[in-house]
Structure formats: structure tokens, C-alpha cells
Amino acid sequence: MNATFLQTPIDYLKGVGPNRADLLRKEIGIHTYQDLLHFFPNRYIDKTRYYKINELQQSNAEVQIIGKIIHIKTVEQKKGKRLVASFTDGTGTMELVWFRGHKWIKENLKINEPYVIFGKINWYNGTFSLPHPEMELLSEHENGLRSAMQPVYPSTEKLTNSGISNRTINKLMQQLFLESKNKFSETLSKNIIEELKLLPKNEALFNIHFPKSQELLVKAQYRLKFEEFFYIQLQLIRKNLIHKYKIKGYPFEKVGPLFNDFYKSHLPFELTDAQKRVIKEIRNDLGSNAQMNRLLQGDVGSGKTIVALMSMLIALDNGFQACLMAPTEILSVQHYNSLFELCKNLNISILLLTGSTKTSERKEIHEKLENGNLNILIGTHALIEDKVKFKNLGLAIIDEQHRFGVEQRAKMWKKNELPPHILVMTATPIPRTLAMSVYGDLDISVIDELPPGRKEVKTVHRYDSNRLKVFKFIRDEIAKGRQIYIVYPLIQESEKMDYKDLMDGYESIVREFPLPNYQISIVHGQMKAADKEYEMQRFVKGETQIMVATTVIEVGVNIPNASVMIIESAERFGLSQLHQLRGRVGRGAEQSYCILMTSFKLSKEAKTRLETMVRTNDGFEIAEVDLKLRGPGDIMGTQQSGVLQLKIADIVKDGDVLKIARSYAWQVLKSDPSLQLPQHAPIKNTYTQLTRYKNIWNYIS
């Protein structure tokens, strides 16, 4: 069936007409035949059995009965009227009831004609009744496209009230299949269909709407889920390959003295196998002619900074400059300090540029950047200002990518005639299935082991009633010379209640830990930046033992001596936030602890989150649970969720299908990047249609 037929506006389908077409467009986004075809049922009802009235039970079951209407009457009730019909099948009599649409129904009902009725039964005043039954004349029922498993389509109140019932949609679907004679073009190559034993496209579409059996329904669902994922992956991988083919990068041909000297003489610790693997992947990218576009995922504390530095040294060895951009001043200062420390024995210049850099220093930085005397620049968004010009920027590293918009990244590209290589780092573990779909056009590296000597943070859940024991534990830890974080939720910085919680908490802590024996810092979003920085510095220097804060400390502050993280009202935090906060401790050699404080009133979801935190320290496992609890849209935030408006597949439940689809998409593009081979003709045609008619699966963002 050619694509133009499927692009026919829905108004032209027999049984639709302008009013219905308008409703279908507004309510469920059905504009064309194609949209209707891909409007899939969300559940199915088994209609293989016909009941007799004398065998009905007093349950709320859905039943199907063959019989006749022998009498119709209108009954007055407190509010309005109801229409009641007496229905018999020879074994007994029951009532059919309508509360709205009387006139239309009354005009269309036929007395003494055999009907097939379907609906949920009620038992009321000693009689069985069926409110708003689905009805079909027996003669039509026997001629229709019918299946044992009856589809139920998603609907809205407005559609139901306007007489577009499930049965209407079903009839329109039958009409579409009759007009098309079920001749839909195949969209996958013969060998994929044979290898995976997939149903042909025609059979899959027929059995998703009119399943002949449970077994065929399952096969149809698998085929259509595979296809949906396959084309998303084909698009993302193709984007990646075109990027590599078209967008040339600087080839860094050698690994030179700086890299080798650092690796042999100045590495503070042995690299983990995961770090070595990732550095090798990055080296291969930098050595090719294409621009690198890689996402580096690694849990808090997995050693991404060393990988970033060694990548920068490769750029320097090849005569280029490098930069690292972080989302906050605190984080960029921390990157600067740790990189400065690591490079102190190497002959390279590193400087820091943020919003609070003095004008005289800025001038010096700009000059040194342009004449090439500055090798590495670390900073915040200040790096992408137009005034900042590099002599030859070869590698740009972006930390915590999700905090930067696409246009900010694009500005990085324009710093040179050829775009620099890009390495994006994140400590927010992204579940594999989601990474494949949202970042499918980036190459992904994962550091999935912690450096040796790191002790796992011990996590416990305590109720508010245990607070005195928790205070005693804090005293003991401070006596050992450790520092403590106490974090309060701040959902929005202006929320009075949150601020009150923080201040009440702070006052009770000051009472429990009085001066002069204890010093306490407080940091929250309503403070001036300079005051925040002052309090942070006191804590960093060890002048205060307790830091009371809102979630402003979630990203990045590295204080090895802080060994206890107490999270108040932990039930109000999401899983990834809890995991990020826990990552603030456990950075030194001592055993660290995370205590989750909550009230007794916990929702089922909150319990799952807390149990997960207590059970595991593995960020990827936590991200998988988070994905199941919240769904993909929430995790990626609104900018990214558009990519996941899937018609039939589910990224959480169908992860296995996604992996298979991605591997097949890879195989196809590897053997035939421009889809020219005859066996790939159906794939090429479908791909071209997808890109031409953006409204066909509009989930491809």
C-alpha cells in the first residue's frame, strides 16, 4: 500500500465526516489514515464466549449475550430520566439501561430483532441489568471483521459523550482495512524478518487490531515494538555515523611526552580497568579523522577527573588547547584545584575563568588564550562568551551536560574553524535503555567500578523517633575528628514551609551542639553568593564540624573528611537526588555513613526508594529503579522527553526488544551506510517516508 494512501486525511474515511474528523484530531491526534492505523489498543477483552441470562452470576463481569428487545420505556428519576429496555434470550429476561443519548438510541433500536450485546453486568433489585451496552445486530456481527480478542482503544470523555465509542473506533478500523484490502508495504528486510521469525507487516497490523488468537496477538505486538525501536535507533545511529563522516575533527596522531610522563611518574593511584578501557576508547576517537562526540558516565567518585585530564594531555601533546566547562562556580573551582594539584609537576599552564574573575585577570587570560601560552582553561558558562577566543581549541569537556542547553554546546563548536572534540561527563547514571534512546547519537563510555580502597557508604533508614540516637552518633563521629552534612529538602527556594523546616532544624541542631564546643555552617538558596562561599570555605577548611544545608550541595563539593550525610525528610527526595547527596561522603579512607530520616507516614513509592538506597550503592541499579517508578519523561526532564512518545513499545518493559533492535540497526548501517543494497529497499523506503512525513511516528524527535 503506497504512502500517499496512508497520508489521506481522516475526513475521507467512510463513517467519519467533518465533525467526527475534528474530534478525532483534537482529542487523540488522528489526522490521517496512517495515524488511525497506528492507534493501537491498550487492552483486549476475550469475546469467545456467549452467555445465557439464566447462568449469569452476581459479579461485575463483562459478558456477551444473544437475544431480543421486547419492550422499551422511559423512567423518571431524581435527576433526569433513564431509558430502559427489556431484553430476553429465551432462558430469562434482563434490563438494558441508558442514562444519556435517549433520543438517538430510541430511534435506532429495533424491537424483536436478534442482537449481540456486550458490557458489565449489574445486579439491582433482584434483576440483572447492563448499563450502556455495546450492541450489534446479529446479522452484522456475523459479517463483521471479528476476533476472539476484542480490542479496547484509549479514549477521552469528550469522545465517549459525542458518541465515538470503542465500537465506533473498531468500525472505522474495519473500514480502513476494507479500503486498503490489508495491503500494507513491508517495512523490514527479508533477512531480519526471517532471522527473528517476525510476522509480516500485514499480519502484524491485522492481528494488533483484530487478533485471531492470543498467540498471534503476542507475535504482532513483538513485531511492531521491534519496528518502532528499530527506526528510532536507525535514525540515531545514522546521525552518529553522518556526524563522523561529515564533521571532521583534528586528528591527534600521537600520544606524546606529557601523557606518557604523567602516566608513568605522576599518577596518584593505579587506574582501574574501567578507566583504562575508557581512556582507550577516547584515544581511538581522538586519533580518527572525525570529531569525537562521546558521553562519559561514571558514578560519583569513580575517577572521571583523571580520565578528563589524560584526554586533555593528548590534546596538548598534539599542540592544541583544552577546556573544561562546569555548571556552577563551586564545581569549576573544585575541578581547577584538583587538576592544578595533579599537574603541578608538569610544565603546563592552567587557569580558571568564572563570573567572579577580576577584570585584570580576565584580560591576562584572554591574551594567553589567543597567543597559545595558556594550555588548559577551566570555568563556568563564562568560557562560551564571545570575548573568549582560543588560539587552537582541540578538546572541550562539558561536565554535568544536562545543565547546559544545546545552544550553549553549539557555541563551543564555533571557537575554531574545525569544531573541537567534545567529551560530555555526567555523574548521573542514565539507565542503559534510556541512554540508548536519548543519547543514541553519542558514543557512550561507562566507568563502572570504583577506585580500590574506596569503602562503600553504609546507608540506614531511621524514623524521627530515633533522633536522639542519631545525635549521639553525630557526637561520636565529631569526637573522631569527622565532619557532618545535614540536608533539608528545598523543593522551591521560595517555599515558606521548606525554609521554616530548615530554620527549625538549624535551631534544634544549635541547641544540641552548642558553642564553643561545636561550630555550625548553614548554606541555602536565599543567601548571597559571597556568604555561601564564606560558609562553604569554613567547612572545607575544617573550621566548622556540621554543615546544615539545602540541596545546593548536591553537585560536586569534595570534602574527604566529611563522613556522615544525614538527609532530613528523605521521603521528599527523588532517588537520583538521594544518590547524588550520598555521593558527597565516602571520599576519604574512613568508613562513611548516610542516614535517611523520615516520618512514619510513607507512600509505597517512598518505601521503595528508601529500601533501594539501603540495599545498593550502584548508581545504575538505582537509575533502573528510578526509571520504573517515574517513567522516562520525568528522568530526562521536559527538553528530552519528546524523544520517547512511543506508540506501542515501552522503554521500561521492553528493554530487551530495544537492545535487539539497536544491534540490528547497527548491522544494517555497518554493512550498508546509505541503504543502497536491494535487500534494504523496504528499510530505505520506510526511512525516507519517516523523514518526509514528520507526522508519521512523531516520536522521532
Highest mean pLDDT, choosing among 288-297, 409-418, 519-528: 288-297
What pLDDT does residue 260 have?
Answer: 95
pLDDT by residue (tens digit) across 116-160? 998 889 988 888 999 999 898 988 887 776 666 789 999 988 888
All three cell numbers of 576: 537520583
- Beta strand 421-426 with 546-549 is unpaired
Q: Considering only CA atoms, give the Rg of the chain.
A: 32
Q: How remote is the C-alpha of 408 from its chain's centroid?
A: 22
The boundaries of the domain holding residue 512 are 458-616
pLDDT of 30 over the 60 cut: yes
Q: Check: CB of residue 532 under 8 Å from CB of residue 552.
A: yes
pLDDT at residue 602 tops 70: yes
Residue 440 and residue 311 in one domain: yes
Answer whether residue 85 shows pLDDT above 90. yes
Same domain membership, residue 640 and residue 693? yes
Long-range contacts of 189-194 (CB under 8 A, 24+ apart): 189/668, 189/679, 189/680, 189/682, 189/683, 190/679, 191/679, 192/664, 192/668
Helix (H) or strand (E) holding 315: helix 304-317
Q: Is residue 593 part of a domain?
A: yes
Q: What is the arithmetic mean of pLDDT over 605-625? A: 91
Residues 532 and 609 both lie in one domain? yes
pLDDT value of residue 317 = 96
Span 450-478, mean pLDDT? 91
Cis omega before residue 251 (within 30°)? no
Residue 654: its pLDDT value, please?
A: 85
How high is the pLDDT of residue 646? 81
Which whole-number Å values give the CA distances from 399 to 335, 381, 415, in the listed order? 10, 11, 18
Instruction: Tell me: pLDDT of 666 over 90.
Output: yes
The CATH number given to whatever domain includes residue 73 is 2.40.50.140
25 domain residue, yes or no:
no
Mean pLDDT, to the nearest integer, of 514-525?
A: 88
Residue 638 has pLDDT above 60, yes or no: no
Residues with Cβ < 8 Å from 589, sequence gap 6 or more? Answer: 453, 455, 560
Cα angle 168, 171, 175 (rounded to 5 degrees) comes to 140
In the structure, what pLDDT confidence band is assigned to residue 616 with cuts at 50, 70 and 90?
Answer: very high
| CB-based contact 682:185 (threshold 8 Å) | yes
Residue 641 vs residues 435, 632, 646: alpha-carbon distances, Å: 12, 7, 11
Q: Do 215 and 251 belong to one domain?
A: yes
Residues 589 and 478 in one domain: yes
Domain identity same for 583 and 466: yes
Q: Is the pLDDT of residue 504 over 60?
A: yes
For the record, the C-alpha cell of 270 comes out as 593505579
Q: Give the CB-side neighbour count of residue 478, counting CA atoms within 13 A.
A: 19
pLDDT above 90 (res 679): yes
- 591 and 655 both lie in a single domain: no
Of 375-379, 567-571, 575-579, the poorest mean pLDDT is in: 575-579
Specify the range with the lowest mean pLDDT, choosing from 158-167, 274-283, 596-605: 158-167
Q: Write down the pLDDT at residue 553.
A: 63
How many C-beta atoms lie closer than 10 Å to residue 108's C-beta? 9
Four-residue CA torsion sign, 108, 112, 113, 117: positive
Kindly tell me if the per-residue pLDDT of 338 is higher than 80: yes
pLDDT at position 694 is 54
635 pLDDT tier (thresholds 50, 70, 90): very low
Confirm whether 171 is domain-assigned. no
**pLDDT of res. 196:** 97
Quick one: 599 and 673 in the same domain? no
Mean pLDDT of 264-280: 92
What pLDDT shows up at residue 497? 53
**Per-residue pLDDT at 427 exceeds 90:** no
Q: Cell for 210?
A: 483484530
Per-residue confidence band for 642, with pLDDT thresholds at 50, 70 and 90: very low
Mean pLDDT to the nearest integer, 638-661: 72
For 405, residues 6+ apart whose C-beta sits below 8 A from its C-beta are: 639
Residue 429 and residue 312 share a domain: yes
Closest by alpha carbon to 459, among 342, 335, 618, 671?
618
Residue 496 in domain: yes
- Angle 619-630/632-641 helices, nearest 10 degrees? 80
Question: Is residue 426 situated within a structural domain?
Answer: yes
Q: Which residue has the cell 593528548?
A: 314
Q: What is the pLDDT of residue 691?
A: 79
624 confidence band (pLDDT: 50, 70, 90): confident
335 domain-assigned: no
Indicate the range of 242-246, 372-376, 603-607 predicted with least confidence. 242-246
Do 237 and 293 contact (CB within 8 A), yes or no?
Answer: no
Residues 432 and 482 in one domain: no
Query: Structurally, how many domains does the chain consist of?
Result: 3
One domain, residues 524 and 570:
yes
- Of 86, 117, 145, which residue is a domain's last? 145
Q: Is residue 90 part of a domain?
A: yes
For residues 562 and 212, what is the distance between their CA atoms, to the nearest angstrom? Answer: 64
Burial label for 308, CB within 10 Å (0-12, 13-18, 19+), is buried
pLDDT at residue 249, as a whole number? 84
**What confidence category does residue 315 fall into, taking pLDDT thresholds of 50, 70 and 90?**
very high
User: How confident is residue 498, by pLDDT bands cut at 50, 70 and 90?
Assistant: low
Does residue 43 have a pLDDT over 80? yes
Angle, CA 233 vertex, CA 418 and CA 419 arms, to 5°: 5
Q: What is the mean pLDDT of residues 404-429?
A: 75
- What's the mean per-residue pLDDT of the chain? 87
User: Is residue 265 located within the same domain as residue 413?
Assistant: yes
> pTM for this one?
0.68
DSSP letters of 128-195? EEEES-EEEEHHHHHHS---SEEEE----HHHHHTT--HHHHHHHHHHHHHHHTT-----S-HHHHHH
Considering the domain boundaries, does residue 612 fall inside one? yes
CATH classification at residue 521: 3.40.50.300
Contact status, residue 444 vs residue 295, Cβ threshold 8 Å: yes
- On the question of pLDDT at 622 being above 80, the answer is yes
Task: Determine the Cα–Cα distance for residues 570 and 578; give it in Å rounded to an integer.
Answer: 8
Instruction: Write out pLDDT tens, residues 103-115.
Output: 888 888 999 999 9
Q: What is the DSSP letter of 320?
A: -
Span of 108-112, 152-156, 246-250, 357-361 with lowest mean pLDDT: 246-250
